[in-house]
Every structure is written in structure tokens, then in C-alpha cells.
Structure 1
Amino acid sequence: MTGNTHIIGGLAASLAFTQFANYDPVLLVGAGVIGALIPDICHGGSKMGRTFPTLSKVINVIFGHRSFTHSLLFLVLIAIFMNSFVSNEAVTAGILIGIVSHMVLDMATKNGIKLLYPLKITVRFPITTRTGSAVEYVVMAILSVLSVYFGYETFSYYL
């Protein structure tokens, strides 16, 4: 999936999570969007890869694309890191939700992800699409509608 789809996916997932969480929704949603971009640090052309080019290159050389940073092992290590060094639970939850949304969206692509890294098993859904395809834009449109719905539900008390 493209960076924009991951952003909308992180937004939709974190807004949906605010429906039953008692965290600050602004922090949670902001962190969810950032978390949705983190796994692609392994790809130099991604939004994260362009922001941190040296780190991206090192990670890509060591692990490749859609392996370690798209795995449950990575998710657990980020959770441990966040719980150890970040005192705000809304930020931690948002980052983790964003990462999970990224993984789910990439499992919908033909290339899938190495969810069980270091095992070399590729995990993808039975029905997949290509990154940048018309189907991806339909997915992005659906996620956008869900973001508006959950955003209204989350922030309607401000209106």
C-alpha cells in the first residue's frame, strides 16, 4: 500500500479505537498516524525512509523490505520500548495501533509480509491487490469514510 493509504488506515484504526478507550483522542490519533508509517522505515522511497535515509538504508541492508519491521517481533519490541521510555499510554497505544493497521493493509497486497519473522513465511490475505492499484484507492476511500464516521463519533462533543 502507498503511504497515503497507510496514513488513512492509521487514522481510521486509531479513531475506531477511541470509541472504547479512555485515552486522549488527539494524542492517540496523532500517534496512530505516525505509527502507521513506521514499518516502512525499511524502504528508502517511503515517507519514513525519506525522512530518515541513513537509518532506512541500514535497516534495509540488514533485513530487507517487509520483513522484520512488518513482524510480530517488531511489534513486541516496539511495545516494550514504548512502555519503558514513553510515559503517555495514549501515545503508546496509538503507535501500536498504527503499526498493526500498516501490517494488516500490507497483508492485503500480493507481496504480503513476513509477519512471523525470522521465519521466512509470507503472510497475506486470500484476496490481494497490487500497491497503487484501483482497488487500493477503493480501500482508501472506504477508510476515509470510516475516518469521518469515527472522527465525528470521537469529536462530536467538541461541536
Structure 2
Amino acid sequence: MTGKTHIIGGLAASLAFAQVTSYDPVLLVGAGVIGAVLPDICHGGSKIGRAFPVVSKVINKIFGHRSFTHSLLFLVLIAVFMDSFVTNEAVIAGILVGMGSHLVLDMATKNGIKLLFPLTIRVRFPITTRTGGTVEHVVLTALSLLSVYFGYEAFGYYL
């Protein structure tokens, strides 16, 4: 999936999660968007890879693309790290929800992800699409509509 689909996916997922929690929706959603792009730190051409080119290059050299940073192991390590250093639960939850949305979206691509890294098994859905294709644009549109719906639910009381 492309960066914009991951961003909208993280936005939709964190807005949906805001419906069932009492976390500050602004912090939750902001962190959700960051978490949604974080796994692509392993790809130098990604939004986050371009922001942190040295880190991206090192991670890619060691692990490659869609392996360690697209795994449950990475998700757990980030959770443990944040639990030790981040004091705001809304930020922690948002990052993890955003990362989860990224993994789910990339499992919908033909290449899938190494969800169970260090095992080399690629995990993908039975029906997949190619990155940037027509189906991805349909998914992006659906996620955008869900973001508006969940956004109104989460922030409607501010209006």
C-alpha cells in the first residue's frame, strides 16, 4: 500500500478505537497516523524513510523490506519500549493501533509481510491487490469515508 493509504488507514483505525476508549482523541489520532507510517522505516522511498534516511538505510540493509518492521515482534518491542519511556497511554495506544492498521493493509498486497519474523513465512490475505492499483484506490476511498464517519463520532461534540 502507498503512504497515503497507510495514513488514512491509521487515521480511520485510531478514530474507530477512540469510540471505545476514553483516551484524548487528538493524541490518539495523531499518534495513530505516526504509527501507521512507522513500519515503513525499512523502505528508503517511504515517507518516514525519506525523513530518516540513515536509519532507514541501516534497517533495510540488516532486515530488508516488510520483514522485521512488519512483524509482531517489532510491534511488541515498540510496545515495551514505549511502556518504559512514554507516559501518555493515548500516545502508546495510537502508535500501536496505527502500526496494526499498517500490518493489516500490507497483508492485503501480493507480497504480504513477514508477520512472524524471524520466520521467513510471508503472510497475506487470500485475496490481494497490487500497491497503487485500482483496488487500493477503492480501499483508500472507503477508509476516507470511514474516517469522516468515525471523526464525526469522535469530535462531533467539539462542533
Please, what TM-score do these two structures have when normalized by structure 2? 1.00
How many residue pairs get matched?
159
Aligned amino acid, residue 127 of structure 1: I
Whole-Å Cα distance in 1 between the matches of residues 154 and 87 of structure 2? 23
Q: Which residue of 2 aligns with 1:72?
A: 72
Q: CA deviation at 1:114?
A: 0.1
Residues 35-71 of structure 1 deviation map (CA, whole Å, 9 limit, x = unaligned): 0000000000000100000000000000000000000
**Structure 2 SS opposite 1:37:** helix
Q: Does 1:22 align with 2:22?
A: yes
Q: Which residue of 1 aligns with 2:60?
A: 60
Residues 50-94 of structure 1 deviation map (CA, whole Å, 9 limit, x = unaligned): 000000000000000000000000000000001000000000000
Structure 2: gaps of 5 or more residues:
none
Q: RMSD value over aligned CA atoms?
A: 0.3
Q: CA deviation at 1:109?
A: 0.1
Whole-Å Cα distance in 2 between the matches of residues 108 and 20 of structure 1? 26
Aligned amino acid, residue 58 of structure 2: V
Residues 102-130 of structure 1 deviation map (CA, whole Å, 9 limit, x = unaligned): 00000000000000000000000000000
Moved over 4 A (4+): none
Whole-Å Cα distance in 1 between the matches of residues 102 and 76 of structure 2? 15
Structure 1: gaps of 5 or more residues:
none
Whole-Å Cα distance in 2 between the matches of residues 131 and 86 of structure 1? 33
Please, what TM-score do these two structures have when normalized by structure 1? 1.00
Q: Which residue of 1 aligns with 2:153?
A: 153
Whole-Å Cα distance in 1 between the matches of residues 109 and 95 of structure 2? 22
Q: CA deviation at 1:97?
A: 0.3
Q: Does 1:86 align with 2:70?
A: no
Task: State how 1:1-159 maps to structure 2 within 5 Å.
Answer: 1-159=1-159
